[in-house]
Structure 1
Amino acid sequence: MSLLDRYHDVFHKISATFGYHYHESTPDWVHPFLHLILVLAPALLTAVTGFLTIRFILKQWRRPRVVTPQRDWIRGLDPRLFNAVLRHSRKQQALMITLSLIAMPILYLTLELPKQIVNNALDSDRFPVRFWDYEFDQVAFLLVLCGLYLFAIILSGLNKYILNVFKGYVAERFLRRFRLLVFRQWRSDPDSKNQSEIVPILAQEVEPIGGFAADVLTLPIMQGGTLATILLFMFMQDPVLGAAALTVLPIQLILLPKLQRRVNILSRKRISEVRQLGRLLSDQLRGEAAGSQPLLRTSTSFRELEQVRRRIFHLKFFIKSLNNFLTALTPFLFYSLGGYFVIEGRISLGALVAVLAAHKDFSAPLKELFRYYQTLEDTRIRYHEITTFFSKVEANRKEVPRHDFALEVVHA
């Protein structure tokens, strides 16, 4: 037996494990589709996941075992972003995680009920239906299922509303505390009048950090749980269609993080250009620069900032377009292979409709997780830039009378 024959034998066993058995009437085009879904895509996903895991482990292992304590550059705030967020919002994070986990069974119910409506209320001749001590005709049973679906939607919307409002509270509370700490550190510097960068720091650079404080744990748990719930629902309808939902995921894991790293480099450069522009404008306002040279330097700074932002926009929109294209490929498999399964009688029409609706929701949490990765990297850059800025302040700081901002921060 040749190697190719052995491969086909193993593939047929894998296909049988997923509940699909080949026969003479199986169309030829189904064969490569199942090869892609059941063998090639899972193998690539396993390889990519293993590579990312090994790289993460090696990155952690190569870190110095003995770490010298970092200077607390901003008094009252940890130099590490995650530690700073969790230090000031640990109880609120636990409550938001609880609300996120409550949303998972409600989500599964909103996915299951449309299938039940199509299969058992619209496409069924088993009426009247007896449930407990009550009998329902077709119209009454349809209204009952639709009422349950409406109730599940209301619960889901109410849960999301409460969670989002509370996230806003946590974000603004952490942002106010962070701004007070940054402002106190700036006031403690004897040369604070020369620090024109404090305006963009307090007005712009700290905003994303406050928003990230509410999403640091809640968003990956909420979106990751949503992704797992939808994937479980798909596999419950048909294992092959559930595996098809993961077909393009390896490509997304390979390409999107690499492109995002390039965006992060440009974001760091943009922050540097904004601060340089602030210094130039501050010098001109104090009259320390005269003649046409300041105008030329300011114009050059404007042009550099424009070019950096254009490159960021090009990369971000390319990432978005690529992600949308890859996400749109999976419904093609559902319509073709899933439609064939409906004709063959393997799955019901309601199950296919439910899988298509679920995949529409499947792409949203996946995008949110990629966006979380982008936000995480961008926020880390901003946080690092702010703490690095104040490390210079701490190095040059002299003994000055303390202001009572510490008391304000405690009460904040």
Structure 2
Amino acid sequence: MHRSLYRYILAHSRRQQIGLAGLTLILALLQPVPLELQRRALDDAVANSDLDLLTLLCGLYLVAIFGAAAVKFGVRLWRDYISAHVTRSLRDDTYRNIYTEHCPPQYRKDDSDSVDDGAVVSILSNEVEKLGGFAGDAISAPLLQAGTLIAVLGYMLAVEPVIAAIAIGLYLPQFVIVPIAQARMNRLAKAKAEETRDLGDFMVDEPDDSLFNHDPPDKFNSMSDRIRDLRKSFVLTKHTMKTINNLLIALGPFGVIAYGGYLAIQGEVQVGVIVAFISGLERIGDPIRDLIGSYRGIADARMRYGLLRDSFEGGEVSGPGS
């Protein structure tokens, strides 16, 4: 199998990923349109009591909302189709690595030539499904989130640079905190996966007569304790990072309202700008959370793919679509 998860995904879905990326960029570029329509509706139509302009802007707003919804539907559907295709390819490659190629020792029964069906079923139904499900989001999801951030922040900087800079300054610490916390979570997740696999191997290798009617062996207890401690460390890191990120996201609207309100009172900006910016921050908050989630998902998928790939003997295996 390919050494890189992304190389594997692109080998089996390159054309689909390119098309999906194009549709995703269209969706990202549509995000600032409702913000500008909101601003113009308040500052141009409502402020000047222009009913015709208000009707036109509201109509365009509905067109933009429904258009974005249609494009988002297409993006989600295309992602799931790609996931289904890559999952099928992963199952085929897993089958060939176990049954057609030289079967790895961990998939044999009692070091014999027969295959451990339970281990194979677990791989095909669990690991392959998770990796295949990631394939549709692998490129499109972070591209949409990053594209939305760039488009909305670019619009805000163009309309009112100072207020936008304050909002950006409140969000910047996340891009320092997340990589540090995620690196620790990656190490913990990998250690937990390896420890869980070792526990499974221990239970398979241990003779039945040493387990029946006996307390759990010391090795079983120590490995179970280790898995528990790794899980506790993982969730502590995850929830600490999530709490800090949510707090920073919540501070964004505060900065806009505080400084933007001051400028509005001084007559330096219009109220429509502040309303549009608050809506823009709401549109930024979700992509930031999703981008963090994508970062975690990519790390987790790479870890899972590495474990699956390393469990097969040999290097890359060529197959259909490779």
TM-score by length of 1: 0.69
**Equivalent pairs: percent with the same residue?**
29
Cα–Cα, structure 1 residues 80 and 104, in superposed 2: closer, same or farther, change >3 Å? closer
RMSD: 2.5
Which of 146, 150, 171 is equivalent to 2:62?
150
Q: Which range moved further: 93-102 or 104-113? A: 104-113
- 1:24 aligns with none
Aligned to 1:92: 16
Tell me if structure 1 keeps the 8 A contact 2:17–2:140. yes
Q: 2:246 aligns to what?
A: 324
Q: Structure 1 residue 345 and structure 2 residue 274: aligned? A: no
Equivalent residues in 2 for 1:210-289, closer than 5 Å: 210-283=132-205, 287=208, 289=210
Unmatched segments (≥5 aa) in structure 2? 110-115
* Structure 2 length-normalised TM: 0.87
Change (3 A) 1:103 1:290: closer
Higher RCO structure, 1 or 2 (CA under 8 Å, sep 6+): 2
Residue number in structure 2 paired with 1:193: 108
User: What is the aligned counterpart of 2:236 among 283, 304, 314?
Assistant: 314
CA distance in 2, matches of 1:388, 1:313: 26
- Alignment check: 8 A CA contact 2:29 2:147 kept: no
Equivalent residue, structure 2, for 1:101: 25
In 2: Cα distance, 1:374 partner to 1:362 partner = 19
The AA in structure 2 aligned to 1:184 is R
- The offset of 1:346, in angstroms, is 1.4
3-state secondary structure, aligned to 1:168: helix
Deviation for aligned residue 1:209: 2.0
Q: Deviations over 1:211-265 (max 9, x none)?
A: 3322222123211111111011111221101211210344222222111111111
Q: Distance in 1 between matches of 2:158 and 2:276?
A: 11
Q: How many residues of Structure 1 are paired with residues of Structure 2 in the alignment?
A: 309
1:171 offset after TM fit, Å? 0.9
Q: Residues 326 and 311 of structure 1: is their aligned pair in 2 closer, same or farther, counting only changes over 3 Å?
A: same
CA contact 1:280–1:294 (8 Å) conserved in 2: no
Q: Which amino acid aligns with 1:153?
A: I
**Partner residue, 2:37:** 113
Q: Quick one: which amino acid aligns to residue 23 of structure 2? A: L
Conserved? CA contact 2:32–2:280, under 8 Å: no
Equivalent in the alignment of 2:95: 183
Residue 209 of structure 1 is matched in structure 2 by: 131
Q: Is contact 2:104-2:312 (8 Å) kept?
A: no
Q: CA deviation at 1:197?
A: 4.8
Aligned to 1:82: 6
Indicate the SS of the match to 2:173.
helix
Q: CA deviation at 1:90?
A: 0.5
Report which of the two structures shows the higher radius of gyration computed on alpha carbons.
1
Name the amino acid aligned to 2:91: R
Flag the 1:389–1:83 CA change in 2: closer, same or farther, 3 A: same
**Distance in structure 1 (CA, Å) of the matches to 2:136 and 2:174:** 26
Deviations 1:68-122 (A, max 9, x none): xxxxxxxxx3121111111111000111011012223422211211112212222
